[in-house]
Amino acid sequence: MSTIGSFSLTLALLVSLYSLIAFTLGARTKKREWTRSGQNAVFAVAGLVSLAAAVLVYALISGDFQIQYVAEHSSRSLPLAYRLSAFWGGQEGSLLLWEWLLVLFAAVVMIQNRKKNRILMPYVLTIMMGISLFFLVLLTFISRPFQLLPFLPSDGRGLNPLLQNPGMWFHPPATYLGYVGFSVPFAFAMAALLTRKLNDIWIRSTRQWVLFSWLFLSIGNLLGAQWAYVELGWGGYWAWDPVENASFMPWLTATAYLHSVMIQERRGMLKVWNMVLIILTFVLIIFGTFIVRSGILSSVHSFAVSPLLGALFLTFIGVILLFSLSLLASRWSLLRSENELDSLLSRESTFLFNNLILVGAAFAIFWGTIFPLISEAVKGVKITVGPPFYNQIMVPIGLTLLLLTGICPLISWRRASGKNLKKNFLYPVIITAAGGMVILRWTIQHPYAFISFTLAIFVVSTIIIDFSRGVKARKGMTKEGYLKSSLNLITRNKRRYGGYIIHIGIVCLFVGITGSSAFKVERVETLEKGESLTIKDYQLKFESFSSYPTQDKHVTTATLSVSRGGKRIGILRPERNFYANQEQPVTEVAIRSTLKEDLYVILTQYSQDGPATFKVVINPLIMWMWLGGFILVGGTILAMWPDKRERLRLAMHYMQERIKNEV
Amino acid sequence: MRCKKVGSKKVIVVGVLVPFFILSIFACVALALTVDDVARDLICPCGCGKMLDVCEMESAKEMKGLIGEKIAQGETKDQIIGYFVAQHGEKILAAPTKKGFNLTAWVAPFLVIGLGAGIISLVIVKWVLRGKIREEEIKKTQQEEVQGKYAAKLKKELEKFEF
């Protein structure tokens, strides 16, 4: 089987190289045959890489331990679901996943554009196949998923126990979908620069892809946070680990792009800036992949350290930067703004500041991530840049962003008058002031929490007031009922109200982050059976202890009854498990979640029939984070839902382009 | 005019005194030092890379115990952290110090954002001014076109007119 896998990857590499040549010739000679041949080659590469992926899946299911990757990341006792997820549990498999998604996306893009974007497409596919070629070189020569062992082991080493969580099924694929998805807008941007077709066609053609990638990157980050929360057993969800940072940075620059692109669509401005943001997002994605695989920075997410792989990724980043920025510089004169700003105070100018804060946040994280390397190079001392640094730097930046989230949507395009400002902000400011007075009582010891909650009230009130105005206006015009007006208003302005819903999701995220950071309560106590501990108004009684083997691990569970105000409200069972192939025990926390707070219990130490030590954490409002995640997903789906008018507008654009070309 | 003055006074009261009042309330609240307050600024010395306050390794427990003793002896947070830096070096700190070269870590993000804000402000002003100049030029050209048209008409009429 491994021969089929290796052969299909080698063949895919050759066909990928051929497709690059075919597209280049097709674009140069304007001969359709070459382009068509290149397109067939893309389908062939997609098929061959899919075959390699299928071989790896089969090897993992059947336990073909002769293959080094299968032996190192799975075992006979590993449940089937985790055996399958071992596909992306290691270096080689995750690279194969990257490549597989990339060629599938290339095929989808090709099908989507088979009757449109005829000038752009050969270039788009050249860029995508160029990226694919890089990954295929890695998979064929450096990081081979079908490398055979010189002997046949009786069993595999198994999957890292920390990866044996349902999160393994969703977090890495979601993150990869987001990562790889951004190669599509990047390819379109480069194609637009290469062909000098710098109108907004490339932007409109990739709008769904940008939203799709942003959505999955958001889901990936949130699922990663949730996984860390339930699996790592330290009561937190974000440790500002270099790899966490690496997936957060492109999310920030992509968010900036999602906002600034609106200015290009409406006013024909910020063309260079949008190009820069797309390039930056893609480069940061490759930078993230470089961090995970090079071992240059220590991280819980790191794969096996490979300096060669790191060097190749660094070179790839250099090539992308050199190519894209020199191309951008050569087309500078074609990217001039079509309009000027009409006023100092306008939606356009506030969006520029929103972009500044988002890109500034990405820079702050980038700077913190690489500062240990800079310090080592300059002072010879490797220092730690951990959560205290990021918390101090990011809190003011985050709060400024939250403030702008409330302000930006209510400022008029082109020019905001005093009357407009008063109309839009008077009531939100009054509501915010009143809300601030109410919450002051609980936040008196936490100024940042006070500001965060107050701004949350501000943002939500601006959205509600703006929406209710829209409903009122529509109701007045159409004589529809409130519900129908609301629904019609949303469905006819999916992009706008999808954006508002995303903002509400972001507010919920801020509420969760603020609550769980500022008001967290912790207690560590050693209890004998029958003894209790009290934390806030909860009483936890250590009832019993059990220890039993399962197929792949030895489970130790403590049972605690939980009461509140003398009333029993539930049972919590934190675990500490020993896996056969691992030296360290793995903690399985027990959580009781409500909208108000999470009661989070970790079994830190125990002795058979003796005392056990528990760490109990109360994380207020953390459920709001996950709720915010769901709202954000809902809002994004609404915003990217196909719109008839947009489709018509795009069809008109394509028609005009076609006529122009034919003429 | 008088009304405007009263309005601006109100703005001063609301804009300056209210935040000052709120901040002074926050400033009055003093908290006692806890083990976690100190442990949150340090990392575990065993090499696991975890923050000291969340690490459950033996070495972390010993270190937290020592922090507790030092707090009981009345040492301040800075004194306790200074003690551990002397023992383990700068790498024990969870974040860079705010002096010397390390200060750049703290300053650079805000410097970049500040610089960016300055550049954006200048660009916005430039674009607005350029827009206004262009608008005026268009108006002027239109006026000239109109005036030129009428001037030619007038000239023609005058030529026809016989005195």
At residue B28 the predicted structure's pLDDT band, cuts being 50, 70 and 90, is very low
Exposure string for A453-478, b = 16+ CB within 10 A, e = fewer: bbbbbbbbbbbebbbeebbeebbeee
B3 domain residue, yes or no: no
Q: What is the dihedral of CA A362, A363, A367, A368, to 10 degrees?
A: -40
Contact A589/A602 with Cβ under 8 angstroms? yes
Chain B contact for A382 (CB, 8 A cutoff)? yes
Are B41 and B66 found together in one domain? yes
B147 domain residue, yes or no: yes
How much of chain A exceeds pLDDT 90, in percent? 66
Nearest Cα of chain A lies from the Cα of B142 at a distance, in angstroms, of 19
Cβ–Cβ gap A300/B112 under 8 Å: no
Specify the long-range contacts of residues A570-573, CB closer than 8 Å, at least 24 apart: A571/A543, A572/A540, A572/A599, A572/A601
Residue A11 reports pLDDT greater than 50: yes
Which pLDDT value is given to residue B1?
A: 37
Of B51, B117, B125, nearest to A387 by CB-CB distance is B51
Question: Alpha-carbon torsion A619, A621, A623, A626, what sign?
Answer: negative
Are B113 and B123 found together in one domain? yes
Phi/psi of residue A421, each to 5°?
Answer: -65, -45
Chain B contact for A366 (CB, 8 A cutoff)? no
In this structure, what DSSP letter does residue A623 have? H
Are B40 and B86 found together in one domain? yes
Contact A102/A576 with Cβ under 8 angstroms? no
Residue A661 reports pLDDT greater than 90: no
Question: And the tokens for A609?
Answer: 């029939």
Nearest CA in chain A to B106: A393
Burial class for A480, CB neighbours closer than 10 Å (0-12, 13-18, 19+): middle
Which of B77, B95, B113 represents a domain boundary (last residue)?
B95
B155 domain residue, yes or no: yes
* A579-636: pLDDT as tens digits: 776 667 788 899 999 999 999 999 988 887 789 999 899 999 999 999 999 999 999 9
Average confidence (pLDDT) over A397-414: 91
Distance CA B10, CA B32 (A): 39
Look at chain B and report how many structural domains it folds into. 2
Residue B2 reports pLDDT greater than 50: no
B1 domain residue, yes or no: no
CATH number (domain holding residue B37): 1.10.8.640
Comparing A97-111, A371-385, A397-411, B46-60, which segment has the lowest mean pLDDT? B46-60
Which of B55, B74, B95 represents a domain boundary (last residue)?
B95
Which pLDDT value is given to residue A144?
A: 94
Chain A contact for B23 (CB, 8 A cutoff)? yes
B60 domain residue, yes or no: yes
- Provide the H-helix boundaries in B35-102: 35-39, 58-72, 77-88
| Cβ-Cβ contacts under 8 Å, B84 against chain A | none
Are B105 and B82 found together in one domain? no
Which pLDDT value is given to residue A305?
A: 66
What is the span of the domain harbouring residue B104? 97-163
A152 SS3 class: coil
Residue B13 reports pLDDT greater than 60: no
| Cβ-Cβ contacts under 8 Å, B49 against chain A | 298, 300
Which pLDDT value is given to residue A37?
A: 95
Please, which residues have CB within 8 angstroms of residue A475's CB and are 6 or more apart in sequence? A481, A482, A485
Are B66 and B106 found together in one domain? no
Are B109 and B136 found together in one domain? yes
Are B84 and B120 found together in one domain? no
Are B123 and B154 found together in one domain? yes
* A489-528: pLDDT as tens digits: 999 999 999 999 999 999 999 999 999 999 999 888 999 9
Percent helix, strand, coil in chain A, to 5, is 65, 10, 20
Residue B21 reports pLDDT greater than 80: no
Contact A508/A443 with Cβ under 8 angstroms? no
Chain A contact for B108 (CB, 8 A cutoff)? yes
Are B87 and B109 found together in one domain? no
| Cβ-Cβ contacts under 8 Å, A379 against chain B | 101
Average confidence (pLDDT) over A80-99: 93
Distance CA A657, CA A117 (A): 9
Task: Respond yes or no on whether ipTM tops 0.90.
Answer: no
Of A349, A379, A386, nearest to B101 by CB-CB distance is A379
Which pLDDT value is given to residue A385?
A: 92
What pTM was computed for the model? 0.89
Question: And the tokens for A328?
Answer: 């951008």
Average confidence (pLDDT) over A40-56: 97
- Quickly count: other Cβ atoms within 10 Å of residue A532's Cβ: 15
Chain B contact for A375 (CB, 8 A cutoff)? yes
Residue A257 reports pLDDT greater than 60: yes
At residue B91 the predicted structure's pLDDT band, cuts being 50, 70 and 90, is confident
Strands of A612-620's sheet, edge to edge? A521-527, A612-620, A597-606, A590-593
* A370-386: pLDDT as tens digits: 999 999 899 888 788 99
Contact A159/A586 with Cβ under 8 angstroms? no
| Cβ-Cβ contacts under 8 Å, B124 against chain A | 341, 344, 349, 352
Helix (H) or strand (E) holding A538: strand A538-549
Contact A320/A290 with Cβ under 8 angstroms? no
B5 domain residue, yes or no: no
- For residue B89, give Cα distances in angstroms to A310, B48, B83, B86, B92: 29, 16, 10, 6, 6
Query: Which residue bears the tokens 């007045």?
Result: A476
Of B108, B117, B134, nearest to A340 by CB-CB distance is B134
* A109-164: pLDDT as tens digits: 999 998 888 889 999 999 999 999 999 999 999 999 999 999 989 888 888 888 88
Closest to B64 in 3D by CA, of B80, B87, B47, B78: B80
Average confidence (pLDDT) over A80-100: 93
| Cβ-Cβ contacts under 8 Å, A383 against chain B | 90-91, 93, 96, 102
Comparing A85-94, A291-300, A322-331, A359-368, which segment has the lowest mean pLDDT? A291-300
Contact A276/A205 with Cβ under 8 angstroms? no
Chain A contact for B125 (CB, 8 A cutoff)? yes
Average confidence (pLDDT) over A71-78: 90
**Using alpha carbons only, what angle is made at residue A281 by residues A280 and A282, rounded to the nearest 5 degrees?**
95
Candidates A249, A260, A389: best to mutate against B (most CBs of B within 10 A) is A389
